Every structure is written in C-alpha cells, then in structure tokens.
Structure 1
C-alpha cells in the first residue's frame, strides 16, 4: 500500500488577502455594489461581513 500525498489548498505561490467588515445593514441593494467596490479597492480575495443591529 502506498501513502497518498495530501493536496495543498493554499500554496506559497498565491497570495490570499482576507478582510472583515462590520456593517449595520445590507438591506439596500446599492450596498452590495459598495462591498464589491471596496473588495476591489483593497484587493481582497475573501471578505467576512458581520451585520450588527
């Protein structure tokens, strides 16, 4: 039986930029566009959004 090498999910060849954003509400449709604009502005790969009320 041979050992199977695990596949690498994140390698050193790629840069992953992660951001978090606390928002009041995402109810309005234009806010989605604002999120996309901010992700491009800061070159984010992953964005976590936390909604607080």
Structure 2
C-alpha cells in the first residue's frame, strides 16, 4: 500500500511536469498523470476504509 502511494505520487508529479513543459509526448504525460492519480487514490481510499472500520 505504501509503495502504491509513493509510486502514484511520483507518477502524478512527473506527468504534471511533463504536461507543464509542453513535451512532445503529450499522450504519455497524460497517461502517466491519470494512472499515477489512480495509483495514489486507490490505496488512499483503502486506507481510510480500514481506519474507519477500526
């Protein structure tokens, strides 16, 4: 779960930087941004669900 949070945050940051720089591979930057956001949100939601059930 921790690796998902860290990896998702890094992928989201790199995707955002790539889009901000105006890289030629805009589709790849957008794909990295969206998959990074999903990879960050899924463990976050799972963590809150576990914390709420305790």
- TM-score normalised over the length of structure 2: 0.31
| Structure ranking higher in strand proportion | 1
Task: Report the structure number with the largest CA radius of gyration.
Answer: 1
- TM-score normalised over the length of structure 1: 0.32
